[in-house]
Amino acid sequence: MSETPFPRDPGAPEAPEAAGAPEPPRPPAYTPGSAQPRLNRPVHERYPQIRPTSGYGDPRIRHTGPGPGAGTEQEPERSSKLSARLALALTVVIGQLWGLTIVVDEWMTGDTGTAWWGAGFLVLSFLVVLGIWLIDPKDR
């Protein structure tokens, strides 16, 4: 039963085995990437200890992951305090950007009195952020 399930293309050249010529050597199934021949072997030959079941079925692995309790919040009070301070600081920074926009607009229109009051607001808001930063030095 030498017939294949696909018919042969009549325009294709004859196969080497049909012409009686020896079959050329086949290239390896892997692509060499190193000048050292010992590193160009397939992975399963270089590392015979790695099996397809390594990881989930390997008896050498007893515990996976970082351990119990990892990833949970250890100090929820500190986390909530830091989140509140961050939200307050971001609110002040957004206010500073808004105030800077108003101050520059007033300065450009020539109303320097309002611009100076706005500059005072920006300095005061900077001092508020500095005070928030100084509240708890152990969190830095």
Q: What's residue 135's pLDDT?
A: 81
The mean pLDDT value for 33-43 works out to 74
pLDDT digits (tens, 9 = 90+) for 74-117: 777 778 888 888 888 888 889 889 989 989 998 899 988 888 89
Q: Which amino acid is at 45?
A: E
Residue 27 is given by DSSP the state P
Residue 33 is given by DSSP the state -
Task: Report CA-CA distances (Å) from 100 to 5, 86, 107.
Answer: 79, 21, 10
E-only strand ranges, 15-137: none
pTM of the model: 0.42
Q: Positive or negative, the Cα torsion across 25, 26, 32, 36?
A: negative
